[in-house]
Structure 1
Amino acid sequence: MCILFLYINPSSSGQGYDIILASNRDEFFNRPTKLADFWDDAPDCIGGIDLMPGRGSGTWLGLSKAGKIGILLNILQKDLDPQAKGRGYIVRDFIKGNVSSQEHLAMVQKDTKMVAYNQFNIILLEKRDNGKCCKVMLYDNVRGCDPEEIGPGFLAAGNSTIDQPWKKVEAGKKKFQSIVSENNSLSCKDQLMKELMALLNDETRNFPDPILEKQGAHYSTEVLEQRSAIYVKIPSMDYGTRTNTIILIDGQGNCTYLERTLKEPVNLEQPDYEERKYEFHLNK
């Protein structure tokens, strides 16, 4: 489970950021994971790596210097198929490969009709050759819709289909819009990152939530309330928000990639974090 807040500037002026991304990864605390770094087999790609056996060394969020970004958001469902194909490769193969987001999602859509997958949202970004704002494509394997292009501006997504957002996604989007509107200037970078990090660690419970309750009817009310916060803590399941990620890309292709991750073994009473920050330039 994860949450994503995304801003795509429709008309870059050079004074602010073209892309602002803030995302949480929610996961079991004992799931083996490699922290964000540039990949040995693809030195222009950066992201954390899922080391769970049988999951294909995929990722939930990754970026390439070629200007590609991929985000995977699992959709909450009752019965997970333990034999289902891993979903993290969808992001990994996109940012490592040479095909467009539209071509990649067409292949994924075809694959989902032949192979069992658990439910997911996938959001892919890529630079355009004409200098316009980047292209954003969305696909999920629940609604039966073709991959669709999302226009510039603000986007928020979580663990439901895009047309049925949980309350925390809608509440977080409003806060995200306010943060970006007030701080989208290169001179406000530190304040922007500070406020985005505070948003990602907001423990306010957005409950009751009819959509969340319907999707998660197999969980107790207490667990559903815990899931209703942007920053998730479910001690009874050893599950919650493990990683915050912020990505800023300006009009000149300068990228800041910040990851903040709970150190293992996780102690929710006295949480300890490791922070990794990378600054680099996207390829022309």
Structure 2
Amino acid sequence: MCIMAMAWRAHRRWQLILIGNRDEYHARPAAPIARWAGRPGLIAGRDLQSGGTWLGVSEAGRAAIVTNLRGHGGPRSDRASRGALVTDLLAGDGRYGDAEQAALEDFNPFNLVLVDGASAHFLTNRPAPMRAALTPGLYGLSNGALDAPWPKTLALKEGLLGWLTGGAEQPERLFDVLRREDLPDAGIAPTAPSDAPDEAAASPIFIRNAIYGTRFSTIVAIDAEGRGRIMERRFDRHGAQNGEDGIAFRWPD
């Protein structure tokens, strides 16, 4: 997952709105969102190469999303899968199921946002492992620091804010924001190169590229009563939509 925006406890109707695009090599196999057998209550897509996920929810009251982090070198094959960290945190079990105890240094560079009940946290492992509590508000994250003012991050946050202040109806309308291919003039382009050589240094929210591009767009919408829905659209190497799913769930009161 390479870009996301989140409104957490920032609207009277919605306790969580989380939107994001997963940018990845088209050759890397992945499965659509589904309920996972063997991990009760976990709903997420699945990376079929490493077995974990990039974004998901748990009916235990958790949501998590991970992005790669630029500027610290390419990925090392001897590191644990970052998707395993997301999966364990969502399930609340496994080797990395405890956010306070998980060995963040086991992974290639990452940023991760975790919502767990009434709390939200930002986790990263570069330049050193760090866990920080998040206050209610609007956040944006790509492959740099949390809320770094990259043009596409600012554009995604602006789109989410516009939806929240424009009636906050029909969360699926946020797919239009995730589909934007223009690059705004505002913001500061990243200075560090991507670990994916086919990704431009400054790219739009939606990346149309036959080798490395946007594969999944996902929306998580959970209202104040805990009624939730996770929605996903999938795209081929030409940027054309080739699938869509939605799964309803409920968080504990």
Instruction: Tell me the TM-score normalized by structure 2.
Output: 0.89
Match of 1:131 in 2: none
1:83 to 2:78 alignment: yes
SS at match of 2:41: strand
What amino acid is the match of 1:63?
V
1:159 to 2:143 alignment: yes
Instruction: State which drifts further: 71-80 or 22-31.
Output: 71-80
Q: 1:182 to 1:273 in 2, by over 3 A?
A: same
Instruction: Give the distance between the partners of 2:104 and 2:237, measured in 1 at CA.
Output: 39
In the TM superposition, 1:174-213 aligns within 5 A as 174-184=158-168, 188-189=169-170, 192-194=171-173, 196-206=174-184, 211-212=189-190
8 Å contact from structure 1 (residues 24, 200) kept in 2: yes
Instruction: Give the distance between the partners of 2:164 and 2:249, measured in 1 at CA.
Output: 22
Give the paired residue count.
Answer: 251
8 Å contact from structure 1 (residues 76, 216) kept in 2: yes
Instruction: State which drifts further: 77-86 or 136-145.
Output: 77-86
SS at match of 1:27: strand
Equivalent residue in structure 1 for 2:111, among 117, 121, 125: 121
8 Å contact from structure 2 (residues 209, 238) kept in 1: no
What amino acid is the match of 1:174?
E
8 Å contact from structure 2 (residues 147, 153) kept in 1: no
Match of 1:6 in 2: 6
In the TM superposition, 1:1-284 aligns within 5 A as 1-10=1-10, 12=12, 16-52=13-49, 55=50, 57-77=51-71, 78-97=73-92, 104-108=98-102, 110-112=103-105, 115=106, 117-127=107-117, 134-144=118-128, 146-162=130-146, 164-184=148-168, 188-189=169-170, 192-194=171-173, 196-206=174-184, 211-212=189-190, 214-216=191-193, 223-224=199-200, 227-235=202-210, 238-262=211-235, 266-268=236-238, 271-284=240-253
Q: Displacement, 1:256?
A: 1.3
Q: Note the alpha carbon deviations across 1:74-112, whole angstroms, 9 max, x for none.
A: 11244322222211111100111269x9x823323x451
Instruction: State which drifts further: 139-148 or 38-47.
Output: 139-148
Hey, which of these two has a bigger chunk of helix by percent?
Answer: 1
Where structure 1 has 5 or more consecutive residues not aligned to the other structure, the ranges are 128-133
| Structure 1 runs (4+) greater than 4 angstroms displaced | 206-211, 217-220
What amino acid is the match of 2:77?
P
Aligned-pair identity in percent equals 25
What amino acid is the match of 2:226?
G
Q: Displacement, 1:179?
A: 1.4
